[in-house]
Amino acid sequence: MPTFHTYDGTELAYHLVGEGTPLICLPGGPMRASTYLGTLGGLAAHRQLVLPDLRGTGDSAAPDDPATYRCDRQAEDVEALRAHLGLERVDLLAHSAAGDLAALYAARHPERLRNLVLVAPTTRATGIPVAVPEAREAAALRCSEPWYEDALAALEEIWAGRMTGELRARTRPFLYARWDAAAQEHAAGSPAQINAEAAAEYAAEGAFDPAATVPALRALEAPVLVLAGEYDTVTTPDRAAELAALFPHAEFAVQRGAAHFPWTDDAGAFARTVEAFLDPEVHSVRAGGIRLSHRVWGDPAAPPVVLAHGRCGNSGDWAHIAAGLAATHRVYAFDFRGHGLSDWPGRYSFELFRDDLHGFLEARNLAGATVVGHSMGGAAAYLLAGRHPGLIGRLVIEEAPPPFPLDPPRPAPERPAGELDFDWPLVPAIDAQLNDPDPDGPELLGDITAPTLIIGGGPSSRIDQEDLAWMARRIPGAEHVTIDAGHLVHTERPEEFLAALRSFGI
């Protein structure tokens, strides 16, 4: 277990979990040992989590002066850890009460922050008060739970200013989306992990000066992610949004179906959101309430091209093609819902993927862009082009399924074992539509006005090439080329694929 000595000589411990670029993770509580953070929903698979035990908690020593438990005094502990790790700038994540500690650190040492993630953060450092009516509304979302009445009564006592350990224990079900065995086990560790003496000093008089902190945060150059849980009664989404509005470069996200510990409620949703934010090559936009991650290449002033991947793929599938196009184009490749680092909402259809593409074009102001879609992405693109003529400048459809039933129908799929980088329910949902598509689909092809190129993969493809030829005849003026590569033309024959695009005027 590594340790370091902070500004007053106190020996503080920290724990390392995972590998990769370090992410310092400040625990809340307040003054709770960092063990409750675990792997942060599997985030440790992508980053090295640096989990410090704040002074007097976990494996860290207690200070000689209890007054140093005050939040503002501990900001220098964070700076001492940064220096100990030898990092010029840090990625910093803070949960719950540590949101105040992170805010004070950001205000005091803005040049040391590369990225800041605030998870269900408290807001005392910025002077944003707890809004009891909003918290009561968030609590009411759980009114069907068997524990609701007792937990709410305890919560009302706390809101009235009466806090005891017994009341706090009764309210714990509100902190989790599911009060199941796993949540109860996680909650049961809290009393032993919190230093009560230190917690009492954390927000002592003088700890917070919003009049000084807020202007400093308004000038912060580092990107900030504020992530709230939909059901959180500690920091409601509205309060979290108010906090996010203070920062000039902030992204705000609400994790649906989550409460105060979002990584325990839906580990994948939490890790995808944070990973997408921290990855410098990934950007995010919101379209129809769905967060869509994407990657960008090329000169911002160049003509735009949008690349739409196939089912079970992601934006990374286009890396080679994007590099080839980036010399003359601004290239965007995004992850559809249920894929990669975008949101996985659980409901999927060709129409929803069409709406993702539409929303992405609007969010990035890309009306008139060239759209290149592979397989499922190609189907989403031709559905959009038929419904909204003029939105897409030029259209390339690579190996997209035609809009009529599969013959023979595709049987029910079996989920493969292990972790997947896509949401499995999208597979049976799309198979069902392939077997029984919208009967109006063929008519939409005739409404496409964008110049269109259809690229087929030849006889080794799983798509009937005669069907692609039929689609080319249905779309006014469409061109049709075949590259003998199978279904993954742009992957198996990238140079020939790029040559076909260039011949088409892209």
Give the tens place of pLDDT for each residue, 140-155.
999 999 999 999 999 9
Percentage of residues in the chain with pLDDT exceeding 90? Answer: 94
DSSP character string of 36-62: GGTTTTTGGGTSEEEEEPPTTSTTSPP
| Element spanning 155, H or E | helix 148-159
3-state secondary structure of 18: coil
Range of lowest pLDDT (33-37, 237-241, 435-439, 495-499): 435-439
Whether the pLDDT of residue 336 is over 90: the answer is: yes
The arithmetic mean of pLDDT across residues 25-37, rounded, is: 98
Cis preceding-peptide flag for 408 (omega within 30 of 0): yes
pLDDT at position 440, please?
A: 81
Q: Is 374 exposed, middle or buried (0-12, 13-18, 19+ CB in 10 A)?
A: buried
Instruction: Write the CB contacts of 352 (distance below 8 Å, at least 6 apart in sequence).
Output: 337
Give residue-wise pLDDT tens across range 390-414: 899 999 999 999 998 988 889 999 9
Three-state SS string over 118-147 comes to EECCCCHHHCCCCCHHHHHHHHHCCCCCCC
The predicted pLDDT at position 414 comes to: 93
Token digits for 174?
């509100």
Residue holding tokens 């759980």? 142
Helix H, strand E, coil C: the string for 392-437 is CCEEEEECCCCCCCCCCCCCCCCCCCCCCCECCCHHHHHHHHHHCC
3-state secondary structure 331-366: EEEECCCCECCCCCCCCCCHHHHHHHHHHHHHHCCC
Q: What is the pLDDT of residue 442?
A: 86
d(CA 212, CA 87): 27
- Identify the CA nearest to 171 among candidates 153, 192, 195, 196: 153
What is the C-alpha to C-alpha distance for residues 2 and 66, in angstroms, rounded to an integer?
23
Average pLDDT over residues 363-373: 97
Q: Grade residue 130 by pLDDT with cuts at 50, 70 and 90.
A: confident
Mean pLDDT of 182-197: 95
Closest to 141 in 3D by CA, of 255, 232, 238, 266 = 232
Contact status, residue 12 vs residue 53, Cβ threshold 8 Å:
yes
- Checking if the pLDDT of 472 tops 90, the result is yes
Instruction: Give which of 289, 222, 218, 223 is closest to 253, Cα–Cα.
Output: 289
State the pLDDT at residue 294: 98
Please determine, for residue 164, whether its predicted confidence score (pLDDT) is greater than 90: no
Task: Say what the pLDDT of residue 48 is.
Answer: 98
Pair 445, 387: CB distance under 8 Å: no
Asked whether the predicted pLDDT for residue 249 surpasses 90, the reply is yes
- Per-residue pLDDT averaged across 109-113, rounded? 98
Mean pLDDT of 249-253: 96
Confidence (pLDDT) at 163: 86
**Mean pLDDT value of segment 28-48:** 96
Q: Report residue 475 CA to chain centroid gap.
A: 37
Confidence of residue 131 (pLDDT cuts 50, 70, 90): confident
Give the residue from 106, 82, 76 showing the smallest Cα distance to 219. 106
Is residue 313 predicted with pLDDT exceeding 90? yes
Predicted local confidence at residue 340, as pLDDT:
97
Closest among 217, 32, 4 to 108, alpha carbons compared: 217
Local confidence band at 416 (pLDDT 50, 70, 90 cut-offs): very high
Average pLDDT, the chain: 96
Q: Identify the H or E element spanning 210.
A: helix 210-218
Token pair recorded at residue 280: 């410098």
pLDDT (mean) for 472-500:
97
End-to-end CA distance of the chain: 56
Q: Which pLDDT band, with edges at 50, 70 and 90, does 165 fall under?
A: confident
Of 131, 176, 135, which is closest to residue 152 (Cα–Cα)? 135
The mean per-residue pLDDT over the stretch 77-95 comes to 98
Band of the pLDDT at 241, cuts 50, 70, 90? very high
Question: What mean pLDDT comes out for the span 301-314?
Answer: 98
pLDDT at 338 over 90: yes
**What is the C-alpha separation between 94 and 219, in angstroms, rounded?**
20
Q: State the pLDDT at residue 299.
A: 97
Given a cut of 90, whether residue 377 has pLDDT beyond it is yes
pLDDT attached to residue 438: 85
Residue labelled with tokens 């918290």: 135
